[in-house]
Amino acid sequence: MGFNLDNLFTYHKPIKDQPERYERIRAQGKAMAEFLILSCPDSAELTKAIRKIQEAVMWANASIACNENERE
């Protein structure tokens, strides 16, 4: 698999409706984290689950930033 390093290591200015989608993804991630905090005991496992949600939000937003361009 080849890597497009210019794409991976470039700032991607938000275009079109991207900022709104980024925010919706973050809000859903926060809602899930809040649900887990209310549902699970405070533990290393809960911390890991919340960090995984944070990671999922980051990668979901990166998928938008890195794979959409102004020509679409």
pLDDT in tens, 2-55: 899 999 999 999 999 999 999 999 999 999 999 999 999 999 999 999 999 999
Q: Please provide residue 7's backbone torsions phi and psi, each rounded to the nearest 5 degrees.
A: -70, -40
User: Is there a contact between 54 and 62 (Cβ–Cβ < 8 Å)?
Assistant: no
pLDDT of residue 12: 94
Domain count, the chain: 1
Distances (CA, A) of 14 to 22, 30, 54, 55, 60: 9, 21, 20, 20, 14
pLDDT of residue 69: 84
Domain containing 26 equals 16-67
d(CA 70, CA 53): 28
Examine residue 59 and state whether it is found in any structural domain, yes or no.
Answer: yes
pLDDT of residue 26: 98
pTM: 0.89
pLDDT of residue 71: 59
Examine residue 6 and state whether it is found in any structural domain, yes or no.
Answer: no
Examine residue 32 and state whether it is found in any structural domain, yes or no.
Answer: yes
